[in-house]
Structure 1
């Protein structure tokens, strides 16, 4: 169960990061509200997962999910560049998450 909680926390990190981008510097109400709610929910679920998972593993997986998801949404929603270097960096994040999960 803590791994599922951590996964949802990571997915909510993607939500709040995307909403932050869409808030246009906190000038748009609804994206800003979604960002705040997503942030609170993400941090809360991360804290719950940390009750049973190690700090380093939890934080690394949480940030990895958020970073990778934000990378993908940046490409899909905002037309950010897809380059071999960026794809390689994303692959390293995925590998790091997998290794951390296997090592736990």
Structure 2
């Protein structure tokens, strides 16, 4: 259950990052509330996951999901560069997270 919680934490972090971008564009209360809810849920799920997972592993995977997810959504939704080098580094982040799981 901790791993599922950790994945939800990462996805909520990605949602929060998207809401930061939306808040910069729209400047409305809904974007602000969704941003706070996204990051709040992210921290709650992360805290729950860290009850049974090592801190270093949980934090690294949470950060990896957030960084990779934010980058991928930036490419898909906001026209950021889709250069193959960026994809290689995203893959490296994901493989590092998987490696941490394997050695934990």
TM-score normalised per structure 1: 0.94
Count of residues in Structure 1 that have an aligned counterpart in Structure 2? 104
Give unmatched runs, 5+ long, in structure 2: none
Asked if 1:93 corresponds to 2:104, the answer is: no
Q: Equivalents in 1 of 2:39, 2:26: separation in Å?
A: 14
Equivalence for 1:32: 32
Equivalence for 1:4: 4
Moved over 2 A (4+): 25-28
Give the SS at the match of 2:86: helix
Equivalence for 2:20: 20
What displacement does 1:75 show?
0.7
What displacement does 1:32 show?
1.4
Give unmatched runs, 5+ long, in structure 1: none
What displacement does 1:28 show?
2.2
What displacement does 1:69 show?
0.8
